Amino acid sequence: MSADARLYVDAQFTSPYAMSVFVALHEIGLPFDIETVDLNAGLNLTAPFTDISLTRRVPTLIHGDLALSESSAITEYLNELFPAAKLYPQTPQARAKARQVQAWLRSDLMPIRQERSTLVVFYGQKGQALSAAGQQAADKLFAAAEALLPEGADNVCGEWSLADVDLAVMLNRLALHGDYVPPRLADYAAHQWQRPSVQRWVTQSRPAL
C-alpha cells in the first residue's frame, strides 16, 4: 500500500508532539511514511528540511501538496478531514476542554519538562529528586488531573481524545521515573499507555543515546 502522507519526527522518537501526530495518523488509519530528523545535529535548521517545514520543527506532516508544522495544527487538520476517527470530542464544549488541556500541558509545567524530560519516558533516564519548583509543578499537575478525571472516569472528556495522550505523557514523566504519582492518576496513565496506537510509538526502535 502506498503511503498517503509523510511524517517528520525526531531521530530518537522522544518528542511528545510528534507522538501526538503519530498516534492521530494511526487512529485514522492513514498510511504514512516516517522520516527522522536529527535535532541534536541541527538538521532541522538546514536544507532540505527548511524547505519543507515553515517553523523548522518536528513534527511536520506532508499530505498531498500541504506541508504543515506544529502538532496542534496538524491534529486539528486531521480531525477535520477524518471526523469519524474522533481524535477530539464531538461537542464544541468537550472539544474546547480537550484543547485547553493540550494547550496547558504544552505551555506550562516547565520544571517537570526540564527535570523529567521525555528521555525518562522513552529511554529510562534517571535524574535527581525533584526540586521545590518541580514538586510544586507536580502538585499543580495532580490537582488539575484529578479535577479532569472524576472518580471512575477513564478519559478527560468522557470519550478518549488526543488530550489523554498528552496528559498520560506528562504523568508518565514522573511515574516512569519512580516519583510519587497518586495511584488513580498512575493507573490512568498506565491504561492510556496500552492503547494500540500509543504502543506503536512507545515500542519504536530507538538509537542509542
Give 120-165 pLDDT, tens digit per residue.
999 999 999 999 999 999 999 999 999 999 988 999 999 999 999 9
C-alpha 128/C-alpha 115 separation (Å) is 8
Q: Judge contact between 148 and 89, C-beta under 8 A.
A: no
- The pTM for the full model equals 0.95
Judged against a pLDDT cut of 60, whether residue 2 lies above it is answered with no
**Look-up: residue for cell 474546547?**
96
The share of the chain scoring above pLDDT 90, in percent, equals 96
C-alpha 91/C-alpha 30 separation (Å) is 24
Sign (positive or negative) of CA dihedral 164, 3, 76, 18: positive
Mean pLDDT, rounded, of the chain: 95
| Lowest-confidence pick of 1-15, 73-87, 173-187 | 1-15
Residue 4 makes CB contacts below 8 A (sequence gap 6+) with 30, 31, 32, 63
**Collapsed DSSP state (helix, strand, coil) of residue 185:** helix
Confidence class for position 1, pLDDT limits 50, 70, 90: very low
Biggest CA–CA distance in the chain, Å, is 52
Q: Judge contact between 199 and 23, C-beta under 8 A.
A: no
Give 53-108 pLDDT, tens digit per residue.
999 999 999 999 999 999 999 999 999 999 999 999 999 999 999 999 999 999 99
Sketch out the chain's domains with CATH numbers.
Answer: 5-85 (3.40.30.10), 92-197 (1.20.1050.10)
